[in-house]
């Protein structure tokens, strides 16, 4: 799980500081990987190699939206819904977070590395170090 604390000014001119949470489960990552012919990782590598920025930005926007949610008060669940995502994307905080992640490769890499489950991130680094895949970020 990744927490971004964002300071922004809302549409009433009120300065706010809020925590926003992002997380993808192993099941969600697996569904994403197998939901694309040849695998999502391979598709991303092709897009990066082709320098297809518009497509990459769209995928990244989907990743932000898919990973956004709210922790339940007891910490047992990470709540996600279209309504929660819509509420988030209609804030100035979303705009600031999106623009930072879309324009700053270091911030984008940190985001991706923190929203995926730690054991998957460790496995990806292991595979990458063996030279079996091209790094995405």
Check: CB of residue 26 under 8 Å from CB of residue 117: yes
pLDDT in tens, 52-88: 778 878 888 988 999 999 999 999 999 999 999 999 9
The CA-based dihedral angle spanning residues 64, 50, 27, 69, taken in that order and rounded to the nearest 10 degrees: 0
Mean pLDDT (the chain) is 84
Residue 125 has pLDDT above 70, yes or no: no
Residue 13 pLDDT: 96
Using alpha carbons, select from 29, 7, 24, 25 the residue that is nearest to residue 16: 7
Residue 106 has pLDDT above 50, yes or no: yes
Residue 137 pLDDT: 45
Residue 93 pLDDT: 97
Residue 46 has pLDDT above 70, yes or no: yes
């Amino acid at each position: 799980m990744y927490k971004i604390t964002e300071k922004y000014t809302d549409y009433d001119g009120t300065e706010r500081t809020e925590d926003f949470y992002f997380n993808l489960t192993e099941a969600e990552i697996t569904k994403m990987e197998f939901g694309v012919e040849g695998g999502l990782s391979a598709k991303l590598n092709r897009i990066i190699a082709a320098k297809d920025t518009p497509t990459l930005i769209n995928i990244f926007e989907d990743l932000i939206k898919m990973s956004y949610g709210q922790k339940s008060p007891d910490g047992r669940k990470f709540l996600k819904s279209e309504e929660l995502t819509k509420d988030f994307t209609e804030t100035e905080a979303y705009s600031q977070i999106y623009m930072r992640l879309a324009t700053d490769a270091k911030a984008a890499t940190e985001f991706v590395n923190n929203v995926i489950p730690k054991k998957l991130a460790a496995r990806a680094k292991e595979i990458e170090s063996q030279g079996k895949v091209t790094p995405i970020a």
